[in-house]
Amino acid sequence: MKLEDLLRQNRTIRVIGFDDAPFLRGAGGKVAIAGVVCAGTRFEGMLWGEVTQDGFDATDTLCELLIGSKFLPQLHLVLLDGIGFGGFNLVDLPRLQDRLQLPCVAVMRRHPRLPPMKEAMSRLPHFERRLSILQRAGAIYHVPPFFFQVCGEDPAIAASALQRVTDCGKVPEALRLAHLIGAAVVTGVSGSSA
């Protein structure tokens, strides 16, 4: 069922929210990622994986975690905590949406400061490739309290869905839980700023 229909009929929206766990910048290696499945704001399940710090495997890793999993057929929306995992391992948002055949939304806490971001990216190999992935994510929308990029859905519908899957504040519950769980598993304690 389409997201617009679920919203109109006041039906439960099932989402997965992905966030990376804390990691030491510049150390290289793998960075853990948590994927939390929620029905509305209720926790229903979880996936766990790894991406390469500042690598190029984030999109494929998310697809591998979801495709063939029991969760994919139940989902209506994929949420990302921004498009960067493990530093500048950027998710190709249109490619992710195409492979999963689900609307994909990258949610940000504030409007990103693009010049410093590009400056930091320029210090890594394959800058042009990273820049291209960043640009493919598309326009950044601000529908208070959310900043987001979306592929596969109308921004207004995506914003309504974000409101429905957010318990309080400006972070959808699936992303808030992914952040807390990732921090707890890696550091032994959940972080406060989700």
**CATH number of residue 159's parent domain:** 3.30.2170.10
- Give the global pTM: 0.95
User: Would you say residue 149 lies in a domain?
Assistant: yes
**pLDDT score recorded for residue 188:** 86
Q: How confident is the model at residue 62 (pLDDT cuts 50, 70, 90)?
A: very high
Structure tokens at 11: 């039906």
Domain membership of residue 81 (yes or no) is: yes
Q: Cβ(189)–Cβ(142) under 8 Å?
A: no
pLDDT at 124 over 80: yes
Q: Is 59 inside a domain boundary? A: yes
**Is the Cα torsion angle 118, 124, 126, 129 positive or negative in sign?**
negative
* pLDDT tens-digit series, residues 39-48: 999 999 999 9
Residue 190 belongs to a domain: no
Predicted confidence at residue 1, as pLDDT, reads 84
Predicted pLDDT of residue 123: 94
Residue 160 has pLDDT above 80, yes or no: yes
Count of the separate structural domains present in the chain: 1
Q: What is the pLDDT of residue 2?
A: 92
Give CA–CA dist 69/54, Å, rounded.
26
pLDDT at 194 over 70: no
- Residue 147 placed within a domain: yes
Q: Give the containing element (helix H, strand E) for 98.
A: helix 93-100
Residue at 194 is within a domain = no
- Per-residue pLDDT at 193: 60
pLDDT over 80 at 27, yes or no: no
Within-domain flag for 193: no
DSSP state of 65: H
Domain holding 59, by residue range, is: 3-185
Give the H/E segment covering residue 75. none
> Average pLDDT for residues 92-118, to the nearest whole number?
95
